[in-house]
Chains A and B, each alone.
Chain A
């Protein structure tokens, strides 16, 4: 009996003292290690922090059932149940980026890094998670879900800055890593070229930014920041397949099959010694729900990051896009809304584009930092219809940017820029475009809780036909700007800004002398002047808690010589200067983490009054009210989301071309308010300890029929399955 008792106590001691370690790795959604994450065994004193490779180990924990709490600044906290015994394997924990972390978000669209809460203008930040979940095929689809941003087909407008002119002469400057990204002829942005897989974040400045970026930034800036070099090799495979529903009306059914779209992208990133690289290949095709609106695209992307020293690095990136697409311009009429006009049938456009950027970043001293940026953008398109239209453009840009910290109170940013483009085209004429600019901006933080900025930029731009010494459109422009940011307390920040903007006409606006299809001819206007603007914005950012944020902005912009296409007496379209236009509005954005880490709601409302002061009527293609709702429910590993967007019926359109006697677009004045609802269901999984996701997206689930532009029905209900995983 005594022996048995000793044996029992011995076994019991051995059993109760059995311990093991909880080991694991913390990574983000892109399979990159997270350094410094805290891992705590709930209800105990056990814990650890992840190392630079994301690994952690909590030693000598008795066997049992536990809950781990994993948290890290900038990421959603996760709780994981663990059954600790001898069989416990290496854990892999994927953390998702936190959505409301205003203080943490750094914005560089102002040409130096600032916290979002320190900005003097309205800015929206888009995180990669926002992009991944909804299977956006191209970047412009994403912009439709951003409050205050409106898309008219492929043309972006921030707070009413643009109507629709077939992409010609953008008023919002798109940039990749701060390098402007618009073509030398049209001045348009080709959204398909943006590598969605390599986006770290997107910064959207709402309001004129000409004082830093010059022409084209008169309505705002969309700055796309690409990812930093990875620490460990990773290959991402992203593919999707989907189909459009058939239209409800028999008279619209032009094809008996479901129209499909699909895409496949492979991205590989790695670092070898001081060199980080990312290479990506993408093919994406869309048969389209409209006849002659198909697209077949190939995108290749390469980015190299050289760490040249402790204080400097060099980044080179290049995108190549090959696109072959149908050229659907307008519907035949509302009974044949998904087929083009007879004369536009079988029109196609083939294009090749290469954009290359180089950025050398050097920290000369603790006070002085410099960035040197050069870029080249080659575009070539050939439009095949009754006649062949073609354009071949090269745009070169160079910029030297310096940030100098005079003291902790004063930061000075300055730079010089030059650009040159050469266009050879049978529709835009052969033209040259030259630009030179310098700018400076000071930020002062000498007063308690107050940040004041003042900046000014000088631009000289001229446009001349090749072989001529006569400048058709020479322009000196001076664009000052000032802003204030006052932090009343930790929760409430006020901001105000006042500034000017300008935009020089593009070669396409001045020189186009061709039919653009649909029976519409464009006439050149060598007398076109640059447009200018004056804007005021005031707003506040209220952070009620870490779970509720409210951003309100009141804005007003006055445009002079506003450039818009108008119908001439001869029945042709010509870009002309409107004498004066005015846009007033208010924008409210409310982010609420209803249940932290699980349920998030975003509400965005924009009221806009946009008037052509001379004609005393609304400006074309500007809805007065827009409203966005985004709801995300993330009980991991599942995710659910609902997006709703509303835009009121636009008052003014190109009635000249929709109504008799021209009636070039029959039933073209049909338009309705926009009510679009999208839903998504996602499932996160681990494949060999690497994160993977599968999403089912249903867009426009109520199959609501609307137009963004005359005679162009927006996408019908479509459903797609998207699979993303890492190797």
Chain B
């Protein structure tokens, strides 16, 4: 084979290859920046007003990532936190999401959560069926339970004063079944 032609072929192939090899020079996956150490969560107080309904077996503080628009939104991954069950007939319940986490498999990371509610159920075991639950209190703006407030959690910090008033005489709007 003509040596000049051969050299030309080799050069062309190598040029294509070099272009390919260096078409991407970044290093791919990188570690996330260091975040403040320590647990992230929230705390506050739930105040109950009025007479507790009959037959309630479970009362939990529950956090959802987004507002519930369909019955499936009532479960993970939209469901992000479930507190320990609040004793029947309590007048108030002071909580901390780190200490009162009923489902440790669910983790509250840093971020915004759009729907924080107190929900009750009449089933003795915890149910994952939307129809078994009734929302009785909402973390909201200016005491307007139709306007849920956003819960903001920062890395390594506990967001305080996430207080909710549950007025059994004035229940909030219910999310879709």
Taking A569-B75, A594-B13, A660-B107 as contacts, is the C-beta distance between A713 and B27 under 8 angstroms?
A: no
Binary contact readout A105-125 vs B (1 if CB under 8 angstroms, 0 otherwise): 000000000000000000000
- Minimum C-beta distance from B128 to chain A (A): 5
Binary contact readout A660-698 vs B (1 if CB under 8 angstroms, 0 otherwise): 111110010011110101000000000000000000000
Partner of A661, one of B10, B17, B23, B65: B65
Q: State whether the Cβ of A11 lies closer than 8 Å to any Cβ in chain B.
A: no
Q: State whether the Cβ of A21 lies closer than 8 Å to any Cβ in chain B.
A: no
**Once the chains bind, are A644 and B20 in contact (CB under 8 Å)?**
yes
Query: Which residue on B lies nearest to A248, using beta carbons?
Result: B27
Q: State whether the Cβ of A349 lies closer than 8 Å to any Cβ in chain B.
A: no
- Minimum C-beta distance from B9 to chain A (A): 5
Partner of B24, one of A655, A661, A663, A675: A675
A249, A337, A570, A662 pick with most chain B CB within 10 angstroms? A662
Q: State whether the Cβ of A334 lies closer than 8 Å to any Cβ in chain B.
A: yes
A675 to B107, CA, bound (A): 34
Q: List residues of B (1-25) whose CB comes within 8 Å of A's CBs.
A: 1, 6, 9-10, 13, 17, 20-21, 23-25
A677 to B21, CA, bound (A): 7
Q: List residues of B (90-105) whose CB comes within 8 Å of A's CBs.
A: 103, 105
A706 to B30, CA, bound (A): 9
- Minimum C-beta distance from B152 to chain A (A): 14
Taking A248-B27, A335-B31 as contacts, is the C-beta distance between A644 and B17 under 8 angstroms?
A: yes
Q: State whether the Cβ of B55 lies closer than 8 Å to any Cβ in chain A.
A: no
B23, B28, B79, B108 pick with most chain A CB within 10 angstroms? B28
**Once the chains bind, are A667 and B32 in contact (CB under 8 Å)?**
yes
Q: State whether the Cβ of A656 lies closer than 8 Å to any Cβ in chain B.
A: yes
Partner of B29, one of A659, A662, A671: A671
Q: State whether the Cβ of A333 lies closer than 8 Å to any Cβ in chain B.
A: yes
Report how many residues on chain B are interfacial, defined by Cβ distance under 8 Å.
33
Q: State whether the Cβ of B80 lies closer than 8 Å to any Cβ in chain A.
A: yes
Q: State whether the Cβ of B173 lies closer than 8 Å to any Cβ in chain A.
A: no
Query: Which residue on B lies nearest to A337, using beta carbons?
Result: B31
A249, A570, A675 pick with most chain B CB within 10 angstroms? A675
Chain B residues whose CB sits within 8 angstroms of the CB of A62 once the complex forms: none
Q: State whether the Cβ of A540 lies closer than 8 Å to any Cβ in chain B.
A: no
Q: State whether the Cβ of B42 lies closer than 8 Å to any Cβ in chain A.
A: no
Chain A residues whose CB sits within 8 angstroms of the CB of B17 once the complex forms: 629, 631, 642, 644
Q: State whether the Cβ of B81 lies closer than 8 Å to any Cβ in chain A.
A: yes
Q: State whether the Cβ of B175 lies closer than 8 Å to any Cβ in chain A.
A: no
Chain A residues whose CB sits within 8 angstroms of the CB of B30 once the complex forms: 249, 334, 705
A705 to B103, CA, bound (A): 34
Query: Which residue on A lies nearest to B110, using beta carbons?
Result: A660
Taking A642-B17, A656-B77, A660-B107 as contacts, is the C-beta distance between A334 and B6 under 8 angstroms?
A: no
Q: List residues of B (120-136) whose CB comes within 8 Å of A's CBs.
A: 128
Report how many residues on chain A are interfacial, defined by Cβ distance under 8 Å.
44
Binary contact readout B76-90 vs A (1 if CB under 8 angstroms, 0 otherwise): 110111000000000
Q: State whether the Cβ of A97 lies closer than 8 Å to any Cβ in chain B.
A: no
Partner of A660, one of B29, B103, B111: B111
Q: State whether the Cβ of B49 lies closer than 8 Å to any Cβ in chain A.
A: no
Chain B residues whose CB sits within 8 angstroms of the CB of A642 once the complex forms: 17, 21
**Once the chains bind, are B21 and A644 in contact (CB under 8 Å)?**
yes
**Once the chains bind, are B111 and A595 in contact (CB under 8 Å)?**
no
Q: State whether the Cβ of B106 lies closer than 8 Å to any Cβ in chain A.
A: yes
Q: State whether the Cβ of A251 lies closer than 8 Å to any Cβ in chain B.
A: yes
- Minimum C-beta distance from A201 to chain B (A): 26
Query: Which residue on B lies nearest to A705, using beta carbons?
Result: B28
Q: List residues of B (138-153) whose CB comes within 8 Å of A's CBs.
A: none
Q: State whether the Cβ of B176 lies closer than 8 Å to any Cβ in chain A.
A: no
Q: State whether the Cβ of B171 lies closer than 8 Å to any Cβ in chain A.
A: no
- Minimum C-beta distance from A495 to chain B (A): 29
Query: Which residue on A lies nearest to B6, using beta carbons?
Result: A595
Q: State whether the Cβ of B34 lies closer than 8 Å to any Cβ in chain A.
A: yes
Q: State whether the Cβ of A571 lies closer than 8 Å to any Cβ in chain B.
A: yes
A667 to B13, CA, bound (A): 39
A659 to B79, CA, bound (A): 12
Chain B residues whose CB sits within 8 angstroms of the CB of A607 once the complex forms: none
**Once the chains bind, are B20 and A629 in contact (CB under 8 Å)?**
yes
Q: State whether the Cβ of B50 lies closer than 8 Å to any Cβ in chain A.
A: no
Chain A residues whose CB sits within 8 angstroms of the CB of B31 once the complex forms: 249, 251-252, 334-335, 337
**Once the chains bind, are B9 and A703 in contact (CB under 8 Å)?**
no
Q: State whether the Cβ of A396 lies closer than 8 Å to any Cβ in chain B.
A: no
Partner of B28, one of A333, A629, A659, A672: A672
Binding site for B on A (CB under 8 A): 248-249, 251-252, 333-335, 337, 519, 567, 569-571, 594-595, 599, 601, 629, 631, 633, 642, 644, 655-656, 659-664, 667, 670-673, 675, 677, 702-707, 713
